[in-house]
Structure 1
Amino acid sequence: MKHCLSTAEIEGRLQAAGVQPTLQRIAICKFVLCEADHPSADDVKEWAEHNLGKISQATVYNTLNTLVDAGILKEFRFNHSDKVIYDCNTHDHFHFVDENTGKIYDINPEDVQLNISIPKKFKIKDVKLIFKGEVK
């Protein structure tokens, strides 16, 4: 279970990232950082409408993009879906997608052994590794 941040902690993270902590941003942050598990924008909009009342798709997308730009969230696009997935784990990690349920799991890089051999003219800046299969 995730450790849920207090409203003050979320406000502090937003302010530290140079983002004005509006009520909608704080609420969406609380959902994405504390409750959701790799949500899409549609998941966030559905939650927001249920919990905050009427909210536009543009407001949800703008808020999520602001949080990504501020480094509070990461966005991922997976081949198994045309949706953008938002991840509150901003540390380097890989993903495992359960093909039966669609659930996405974080995989710690220390749990994966890679032996990469590419020509020296290439400088790797980022690795996105996705495992697909089923959870037993």
Structure 2
Amino acid sequence: MTFENPSRERIKEILANAGAIAVVGLSDNPDRVSHMVAAAMQARGYRIIPVNPNADRILGEKCYASLDDIPEEIDLVNVFRRSETVVPIAEDAVRKGAKVFWLQQGVYNEEAASICRQGGLEVIMDRCIKVEDAVLNPRGV
């Protein structure tokens, strides 16, 4: 069965209900796309939790080395990693009890999607969370 993202209406609901968003691969370099996207989402009121083993703080938030190290519940895992590296992150997201596994634009992995779906997570792949939020929730912020 070929993967299909949720409907735009469902993605809008997911974003409306997103509490803590763990951003795996969030760079501390403001010139990197992951940093720009996470900063924009934070500016729009989303709670961002950086996952980067090489930094202490990003966007004013404490960084964690992995999803397992985050001491709170995670609603959404947003991934900025190469497609071939996301299977272990999917396994971590299931173990952590996240609700949604979101692979950024250009990132697609059927095995990771299957792992997450079997673990009860909704999956979105090859979509930019910032673009989706701007289109579906135009707040002018």
TM-score bracket for the superposition, by shorter chain length:
under 0.3
More relative contact order, 1 or 2 (CA 8 Å, 6+ apart): 2
Report which of the two structures shows the higher radius of gyration computed on alpha carbons.
1
State the TM-score, normalizing by the size of structure 1.
0.24
